[in-house]
Structure 1
Amino acid sequence: MYRISVPDAKSRYRLAELANMFLRPSDYEFVIEPNPSASFDLIVGATAGSSNKQKQLVYDFFAQQTGRTLDWGILTGVRPVKLLAEMLQTRTLDEANALLREEYRVSKEKTELLSEVYRTQLSVNFDEAPPAVGLYIGIPFCPSRCLYCSFPSNVISREGSEKYLEALHKEIDAVAGRIETLGWYAESIYIGGGTPTSLNVSQLQELLRRISQRFITDRTREFTVECGRPDTIDKDKLNIIAQWGAERISINPQTMVDRTLEYIGRSHNAQQIRDAFSLAKTCGIPMINADLIAGLPGEDPKDFKFSLDQVLLLKPANITVHTLAVKKASRLIEEDQDYAYRTGAATAEMLADAGATLRREGYRPYYLYRQKHMAGNLENVGYALPGTESLYNIRIMAEDQSIIALGAGGISKIYYPEENRLERIPNVTNYEIYIERIEEMIQRKETGIQ
């Protein structure tokens, strides 16, 4: 076991996050020691300077000890494209990439990926923010819970969903009034979850009617409904989605391997995914995103390639390639605490193959984000055919626009461009508490949205 001295609890937390990318937690120990002795394998003192300097010390030590490097170096943040954009305010692209490689230890392949995503985003036109805002509406229900899931979603019930929607409708009306008073408008609207199409037909109809009538204007450029699981999709629901102006949906296979779908708790098979795509196209929905997950249990690179090839046959406008993130609240980590550590190399191969294949097929990477506990310390990348990039996805990662989030677990971020500052307005996560405290949630927005 490696023993490393650190000056305080904050440093221990920050550096342990980096160490986990090299080793199992049982293979190292960070000890808070103001006056460390020579018995430690590495001493990270308060005099090490900035947090980046401390990370560099630990990164270089573990890289030497293990013979491994990390593609993302010392970066542990969610938004590396935003970091690149900030660097480019005072540097050339070559200078920014050199800084990422030298100070942050990011690999050449990942700096090139960041540059490619950034260039794609430059080709997308955005409205001025404010008055343009993004709107997120959360539906925290699913038909069942997947093996890897840690999101605050709940198995749907009629009584629970009815009470939740009653509260959500109140919040929709209040927020619509507030942004109208300010002269703002919804540039993009995204209904996510959970699985929004786990609602029944009448519930979905009323929700979309209210959203359309309260938020959609002639300046609204994008309306997305995350359908998610194909077993929740039928012709009636898709017609309702199209009727109320949503031109984008997500149908998320995660994998096209039936044995994996069964193992991870998805209550559908690959053929249902194909059927859902066909049905959506007949209902006149022009843009479909498909999510795939690299690193699922029991899958190897051949399985992932099979899934990608099958999804490409469906011709979605967007394909988002996720790296499996093994969260503490998921059932997967209860079964295998070392899963993310063990599967890194195979997952990296899957992502590399996906990137090469999608570029050959005419897709280009347009947004990117990272999460904690990802297999191989990798990334999630959204690919799009030119002209089909999601404004909402780019905006939420760039954090250069107010995003107003409604529903349980929603965290609104109000952007003040003059100060380049965000103010958070959180809703409670538990949907039952959200229902009980809906008036408080509304009041938070009444005072916070300004």
Structure 2
Amino acid sequence: MIEISSKDTLYMYNLYHITKAFFPNTEIRQQVDEGQEPLVRLKLEGGSCFSIEEGEIKEFTDRQDGKRFVTKKVYDWLSQKTGRTLAWGMLTGVRPTKLVMQQIEAGMDREEIIKFLNKEYGVSDGKALLGWEIAQREKALLEQLDYVDGYSLYVGIPFCPSICSYCSFSSSPLEKWKDRMDSYLDALCREITAIGKAASGKKLNTIYIGGGTPTTLEAHQLERLLGTIDAVFSYENLKEFTVEAGRPDSITREKLEVISRYPVTRISINPQTMQQKTLDAVRRLHTVQDVKDVFQLARSLGFDNINMDLIAGLPGEDALDMQDTLRQIEELGPDSLTVHALAIKRAAKFGQEHKEIDLHSEIEQMVSDSADAADRMDLVPYYLYRQKNIAGNFENVGYAKVDKAGIYNILIMEEKQTILAAGAGASTKIVLPEKIQMANGKKTNLVRIENVKDITEYIGRIDEMIERKGEWLWR
């Protein structure tokens, strides 16, 4: 067991996740003791100890600067003790490109940013360069959007054919809710209509229908959903419309034909892996051949912007498995590819069952091979985000052909434009023109409004969900 203790809760989050990145399979015990000396103490299995005295941070008048100092000291010590460095250094946040974007907007050039990330955060040159490249592409895409009068729409369908054992999203098995799908749609369409009325006169830039798996809806239900959106919103300023078709076992010709009748510009068909043994192990109820058949069907119906998702580090897979998966993906030739390093969260089945998973097993090779495969398909990296407990402390990267990048994916990370969200568990992010004082005393220009995750609660409390957003829209 590893022990972390501190006088102040300020340091615990970063120290826990940095330590976990070095020792993913070791239990970590945390303790906050306002009376302890020193400020921070870290004790590894085997007895090695490291501490930071309170006097070492007295020069920092800003608490966040002090936190960065403490985190970097602990990171450097752990790196020295293990003989390893982490690709993203001491960065624990999910949006490294946001940090890079800030430096670009402050006037730094590429070399200055790489040096800054390396010195201040211990980020490797390769990851710093990746962050810079992606931030440049994000900036060019975001410049097309109207931050003041523009907004995006997210619609959540919280159902899946089965729940993958690594998943921690707000999804429910279709079989359990099949008889209440129409009731959910009743509530969802009411919320969508209310959002459309509240946003009247503003510019809708992107739409993203996600989940869950949107194509768990029957064809007539998809028609109803897309028809409601079509009736309520103007597409005059629309730059992107994504439907995350997702699971191949939920996609039919009839459903794709419904989608094709609306101005949908982008869909996802997500295998996660092309290894049948792994699909079976994680409880995805489709075959590798199903992925290929559905992809070719979508192409035959005219879909010319298809994304595919893969996960590096699924249980039982090694670098050779990933190479074979990438070979099969290359044969299909998607227009964009998103590669996730596996993140095990408390809500996921693996976390609940306390399975022993080596999060570092060949992940670096898998990530590198994925980048090489994307390059061979003429896909360039355009967005990046990270998660807690991510395998190997790596990242999730979206690759796309030059004109096929997913704008919504960037918006959800950069938080520069309001995203209005409908559905159970959906999170609205309202970007205000200037910072306001919140009830907790902090100032912010970003207000989050969360819909309840429970589907029954969402259906029963839909008027409340609508009213909560109405208090903030377009202040």
Length-normalised TM-score, structure 1:
0.95
Asked whether the 8 Å contact 1:148–1:330 carries over to 2, the reply is: yes
CA distance, structure 2, for counterparts of residue 242 and residue 46 of structure 1: 62
Task: Say which SS state the counterpart of residue 293 (structure 2) adopts.
Answer: helix
Specify the code of the residue in structure 1 equivalent to 2:265: E
Task: Say which SS state the counterpart of residue 308 (structure 2) adopts.
Answer: strand
Q: How does 1:146-157 map to 2 (within 5 A)?
A: 146-156=164-174, 157=177
- Matched with 1:354 is 370
Asked whether the 8 Å contact 2:7–2:37 carries over to 1, the reply is: no
Specify the code of the residue in structure 2 equivalent to 1:66: T
Specify the code of the residue in structure 2 equivalent to 1:410: A
CA distance, structure 2, for counterparts of residue 318 and residue 58 of structure 1: 38
Q: 2:248 aligns with which of 230, 235, 239?
A: 230
C-alpha change, 1:158 and 1:5, in structure 2 (3 Å) is closer
Asked whether the 8 Å contact 2:318–2:361 carries over to 1, the reply is: no
CA distance, structure 2, for counterparts of residue 119 and residue 2 of structure 1: 40
Asked whether the 8 Å contact 1:411–1:426 carries over to 2, the reply is: yes
**Superimposed CA distance per residue, residues 246-271 of structure 1 (whole angstroms, 9 cap, x where no aligned partner):** 12100001011111111110000011
Count of residues in Structure 1 that have an aligned counterpart in Structure 2: 446
Specify the code of the residue in structure 2 equivalent to 1:16: Y
Over the matched positions of the two proteins, sequence identity in percent amounts to 41
**Superimposed CA distance per residue, residues 109-158 of structure 1 (whole angstroms, 9 cap, x where no aligned partner):** 10011111122224435221121111100000001100101111001232
Q: Which range is displaced more, 426-435 or 116-125?
A: 116-125
CA distance, structure 1, for counterparts of residue 4 and residue 223 of structure 2: 58
Asked whether the 8 Å contact 2:333–2:377 carries over to 1, the reply is: no
CA RMSD of aligned residues (A): 1.9
Shift of 1:14: 3.1
- Matched with 1:167 is 187
Length-normalised TM-score, structure 2:
0.90
**Superimposed CA distance per residue, residues 300-358 of structure 1 (whole angstroms, 9 cap, x where no aligned partner):** 1111111111111111110111111111111112344552xx23141111001111221
Asked whether the 8 Å contact 1:425–1:448 carries over to 2, the reply is: no
CA distance, structure 2, for counterparts of residue 287 and residue 24 of structure 1: 37
CA distance, structure 2, for counterparts of residue 360 and residue 385 of structure 1: 11
CA distance, structure 2, for counterparts of residue 135 and residue 205 of structure 1: 18
Specify the code of the residue in structure 2 equivalent to 1:87: Q
CA distance, structure 2, for counterparts of residue 70 and residue 439 of structure 1: 47
Asked whether the 8 Å contact 1:324–1:375 carries over to 2, the reply is: yes
**Superimposed CA distance per residue, residues 269-307 of structure 1 (whole angstroms, 9 cap, x where no aligned partner):** 011111101111122222100001100111111111111
Specify the code of the residue in structure 2 equivalent to 1:179: A
Q: Is 1:43 aligned with 2:51?
A: yes
- Matched with 2:196 is 176
Q: 1:56 aligns with which of 47, 55, 72?
A: 72
CA distance, structure 2, for counterparts of residue 5 and residue 235 of structure 1: 57
Asked whether the 8 Å contact 1:324–1:374 carries over to 2, the reply is: yes
CA distance, structure 2, for counterparts of residue 366 and residue 360 of structure 1: 16
Specify the code of the residue in structure 2 equivalent to 1:239: E
Task: Say which SS state the counterpart of residue 421 (structure 1) adopts.
Answer: strand
Shift of 1:444: 0.8
CA distance, structure 1, for counterparts of residue 117 and residue 6 of structure 2: 25
Q: Which range is displaced more, 24-33 or 376-385?
A: 24-33
Give structure 1 stretches of 5+ with no counterpart.
Answer: none
Asked whether the 8 Å contact 1:4–1:42 carries over to 2, the reply is: no
Specify the code of the residue in structure 2 equivalent to 1:113: L
Shift of 1:370: 0.4
- Matched with 2:421 is 405
CA distance, structure 2, for counterparts of residue 26 and residue 384 of structure 1: 37
Asked whether the 8 Å contact 2:10–2:67 carries over to 1, the reply is: no
Asked whether the 8 Å contact 1:5–1:43 carries over to 2, the reply is: no
- Matched with 2:359 is 343
CA distance, structure 2, for counterparts of residue 45 and residue 6 of structure 1: 10
**Superimposed CA distance per residue, residues 55-83 of structure 1 (whole angstroms, 9 cap, x where no aligned partner):** 01211121111111111111111111111
Task: Say which SS state the counterpart of residue 137 (structure 1) adopts.
Answer: strand
Asked whether the 8 Å contact 1:147–1:265 carries over to 2, the reply is: yes
C-alpha change, 1:211 and 1:39, in structure 2 (3 Å) is closer
- Matched with 1:219 is 237
Q: How does 1:189-208 map to 2 (within 5 A)?
A: 189-208=207-226
C-alpha change, 1:336 and 1:88, in structure 2 (3 Å) is same
Q: 2:407 aligns with which of 391, 408, 425?
A: 391
Shift of 1:160: 2.2
Q: Is 1:68 aligned with 2:69?
A: no
CA distance, structure 1, for counterparts of residue 403 and residue 24 of structure 2: 43
Task: Say which SS state the counterpart of residue 340 (structure 2) adopts.
Answer: strand
Asked whether the 8 Å contact 1:36–1:43 carries over to 2, the reply is: no
